[in-house]
Amino acid sequence: MINDIVLQKGFVDVPVDSHIDMVAEIQRMKKEKNAVLLVHYYQLPEIQDIADYLGDSLGLSRNAAETDADMIVFAGVHFMAETAKILNQDKKVILPDLNAGCSLADSCQPGQFGEFVKANPDHIVMSYINCSSEIKALSDIICTSSNAEKLVQSLPGDQKIIFAPDRNLGAYINRITGRNMLLWDGYCQVHEVFSLEKLMNLKAENPDAKVIAHPECKALVLTIADYIGSTTALLKFTEKDQSKKYIVVTESGILHEMRKNNQDKIFIPAPVDEENCACSDCEYMKLNTLKKLYLCMKYELPEITMDENLRQRAEKPIRRMLEMSNQLGI
Ligand code: 13P
Ligand code: SF4
């Protein structure tokens, strides 16, 4: 019955007794099942607070590669849980809601991308980790927003590179490295909608605030940023920097950890183009709720499964990223 519900809905949807303390139960099941709970910064605060490891895409893949737990519970989106499975053939990997996709990953489909790669045979393919296992299998190396710049710089200067799927991150890396990577035209629907005009007005109203932005944002938005970095880099910046106020131009989930770690500072979420919309929330990340997480751990469903041949092909470029990042001291 539970299996049928998961097949239909993508998550376990059964009532939970209101007397159950779901947080305590999740903690208990972690021990009982030797499970590790990996959580991305964009998850709901109550899920971030019970993580065994809370981090960005690079930190999460490193943890997934190194864990000795029997089961990985991934509170993030599908491509992240899939990456954990690619690195852990023999472990059970579960995700609270299989509908937790990613607009950026969806903007790069394997058929069209395969044609693009074939049409440029003298290029190597670097793909941002925000892509499906099929795209990873067509890639030579994976990167994240934490290591993309250094990985690109470590490649010979005359090496032609296809960068996919994020056009904004690719263009940003081109600008700071002086490379001319061929970019796939994909984008993240959350980072694409920040409004430059509203951001400039907000900055004018808060002249003491620093603008900190994720490189998935559009080039024009990045031009007014005081600091640009991955989720973890933004967080670390706010911990070391002396300012007392920041306008944060990325998914709003990161504000929770920023506020927790810097209680004397003010963090303002950046405004988006659309009126009356919580667009700086990633709708996919927010599909995972405490109830879905509890039920997912209880029933060990939904589980990420993958064709073994595809898994092996997708594993190579991820391992290459992890090895090169270690060598480069990232
Ligand atoms: P990082 O975790 O690498 O900062 O990426 C942000 C993101 O959009 C994840 O989906
Ligand atoms: Fe994908 Fe953007 Fe959501 Fe990250 S924030 S999971 S890139 S849609």
Task: Give the ligand 1 atom nearest the CA of 191.
Answer: 8
Q: Where are the domains of the chain?
A: 2-100+284-311, 104-187+314-328, 190-269
Per-residue model confidence as pLDDT tens digits over 236-283: 999 999 999 999 999 999 999 999 999 999 999 998 887 766 668 999
Ligand with an atom nearest the CA of residue 105: 2
Predicted local confidence at residue 277, as pLDDT: 66
What does the angle CA 228 – CA 235 – CA 129 come to, to the nearest 5 degrees?
65
Beta-bridge partners for 39:
54, 75
Beta-bridge partners for 245:
266
Full DSSP string of 222-283: HHT-SEE--HHHHHHHHHHS--SEEEEES-TTHHHHHHHH-TTSEEEEPPBSSTT--TTS-T
| Confidence band of 230 (pLDDT split at 50, 70, 90) | very high
Give the integer Cα–Cα distance in Å for 54 and 144: 16
Ligand 1 contact via 57 beta carbon (within 6 Å) = yes
In this chain, the answer to whether the domains covering 2-100+284-311 and 190-269 adopt an identical fold is yes
* CA nearest ligand 1 atom 2, residue: 56
Query: Which residue type is seen at 261?
Result: N
Task: Give the ligand 2 atom nearest the CA of 77.
Answer: 6
Instruction: State the fold for domain 2-100+284-311.
Output: Rossmann fold (3.40.50)
Instruction: Specify the pairing of strand 210-213 against strand 227-228.
Output: parallel
Give the integer Cα–Cα distance in Å for 234 and 42: 13
Inter-residue contact 98 to 10 (CB < 8 Å): yes
Q: Which CATH number fits domain 190-269: 3.10.450.350, 3.30.1780.10, 3.40.50.10800, 3.40.50.920?
A: 3.40.50.10800
Work out the percent of the chain whose per-residue pLDDT is above 90. 96
Reported as type and span, the H/E element at residue 267 is strand 266-269
Per-residue model confidence as pLDDT tens digits over 53-75: 999 999 999 999 999 999 999 99
Inter-residue contact 48 to 256 (CB < 8 Å): yes
Predicted local confidence at residue 255, as pLDDT: 97
Predicted local confidence at residue 280, as pLDDT: 87
Which of 39, 42, 284 is the pocket-test mutation for ligand 1 (most atoms within 8 Å of CB)?
Answer: 42
Per-residue model confidence as pLDDT tens digits over 163-203: 999 999 999 999 999 999 999 999 999 999 999 999 999 99
Give the integer Cα–Cα distance in Å for 325 and 330: 5
Instruction: Specify the pairing of strand 161-164 against strand 141-143.
Output: unpaired
Predicted local confidence at residue 274, as pLDDT: 75
Ligand 1 contact via 56 beta carbon (within 6 Å) = yes
104-187+314-328 homologous superfamily: NadA-like (3.40.50.10800)
Predicted local confidence at residue 273, as pLDDT: 82
Predicted local confidence at residue 279, as pLDDT: 67
Ligand 2 contact via 135 beta carbon (within 6 Å) = no
Question: For the residues 298-304, what does the mean pLDDT come to?
Answer: 98
The model's pTM: 0.96
CA of 21 to the centre of ligand 2 (A): 30
Per-residue model confidence as pLDDT tens digits over 87-123: 999 999 999 999 999 999 999 999 999 999 999 999 9
